[in-house]
Amino acid sequence: MLSRSLLWVSQKPRVQELVTETPLTRRVVDRFVAGDKLEDAIAAIKDLNSKGIGGILDFLGEGVADAEGASAAAADYLSAIRRIDETKVDTTVSIKLTQLGLAFDKGSCIDHLRVLTAEAQAIGAVVEIDMEQSDYVSDTLDVYRVLHADFPELRLAMQAYLRRTPVDLQMMAAMRPKVRLVKGAYAEPEAVAFQKGVEIDAQYIWLTDWLFQQGRDPALATHDFKLIQHAKSAAAHAGLAKNSYEIQMLFGIRREMQEKLAAGGHRVRTYVPYGSAWYPYLMRRLAERPANLGFFLRAIVRD
């Protein structure tokens, strides 16, 4: 409930102004975001790689409102892919489709994503599609289905809190989709999404089992220990090796667990966001954990 209220309040322009204009917010941003520049993210990924952890590079930005903005975001992603090739870091590339214009021109969003996925494929990198607010889910699935024919390695994020997700997955069963399973990070109404942690966890477990049976190379993106334990035992039960699935976490959250899992032979990837459009990303991270609000407030009143 607190989370939903915080996400709702964070959309008010006055609140955004207050948070972004306070220089002290930077400390909190630095915990969750690698930096403003691509090179900051590359450095963070190199550091992760040295610990046996892969990266998931994310250029922050969403809800782009015009064709120029979408083209600019696509150009930034293209530079990022070229830099991955030059530096040879081990990372995937994660993209929000509203950054490529999904909200106003699905056709050109598909065109942009096709170019980026082909470039990434040419250097041996995989593209991952983030899942955004429920209003965009159907269009995101359409884009994924169109591109899957040519790029079956594309990974798609699916949200366990959405009531519709089991049906969406079932409809894609024949494609054996490569999914990143997340709980879901947006404020959604009860008619669309489960609100209670126990219900979301139950659906996450059901979907994990589905992905091990009918998906391909599942990625379990969670910091929730019991859900990671469930994935481990589901894999063992299916006779699958530790490297037949991936565990994904976010930059700045549960670093020790990430390193421990990697040291124990698990495939781990960390989502590394960079860029100056960090506001909505930061608000989702604060909303996920009420204790973060205290951390935020302490950081801005310290000094």
- Residue 67 to residues 102, 118, 153, 267, Cα–Cα distance (Å): 10, 21, 27, 37
Burial class (CB in 10 A: 0-12, 13-18, 19+), 56: buried
Task: Tell me whether residue 112 or residue 183 sits nearer to ligand FAD (CB atom).
Answer: 183
Assess 249 for contact with ligand FAD (CB under 6 A).
Answer: yes
- Integer Cα distance of 108 and 70 in angstroms: 9
131 belongs to the binding site for ligand FAD (CB under 6 A): yes
Does position 29 bind ligand FAD by CB under 6 A?
no
- CB of residue 167 to ligand FAD, shortest distance in Å: 18
Q: Catalytic amino acids?
A: 130, 180
Place of tokens 């002290």: 24
Question: Which of 9, 289, 294, 298 is close enough to bind ligand FAD by CB under 6 A?
Answer: 289
Orientation of helix 67-87 relative to helix 38-50, angle to 10°: 40
Region at 151 (left for phi over 0; alpha for psi -120 to 50; beta for the rest) = beta
Site for ligand FAD in 218-237 (CB under 6 A): 221-224
Do residues 146 and 109 lie in contact, with contact meaning Cβ atoms separated by under 8 Å?
no
Q: What is the dihedral of CA 224, 226, 231, 237, to 10 degrees?
A: 180
250 binds ligand FAD (CB under 6 A): yes
Number of helical H runs and strand E runs in the chain = 13, 8
CA angle in degrees (0–180, nearest 5) for 26-32-34: 80
Residues binding ligand FAD: number (CB under 6 A): 24
Query: Within positions 140 to 159, which residues make up the interface with ligand FAD, using CB under 6 A?
Result: 157, 159
Question: Judged by CB under 6 A, does residue 253 bind ligand FAD?
Answer: yes
- Exactly one of 248, 261, 274, 275 binds ligand FAD (CB under 6 A); that residue is 248
In the complex, the smallest distance separating the C-beta of residue 278 from ligand FAD, rounded to whole angstroms, is 13
User: Distance from CA of residue 154 to its chain's centroid?
Assistant: 13
* Nearer Cβ to ligand FAD (122/202): 202
CB of 239 to ligand FAD, least distance (A): 26
Burial class (CB in 10 A: 0-12, 13-18, 19+), 161: buried
Interaction of residue 91 with ligand FAD, rule CB under 6 A: no
Distance of closest approach, residue 222 Cβ to ligand FAD, in angstroms? 3
Residue 223 or residue 239: which is nearer to ligand FAD going by CB? 223
Cβ distance to ligand FAD smaller for residue 117 or 222: 222
Which residues are near ligand FAD by CB under 6 A? 56, 130-131, 157, 159, 182-186, 221-224, 248-250, 253-254, 271, 285, 288-289, 292
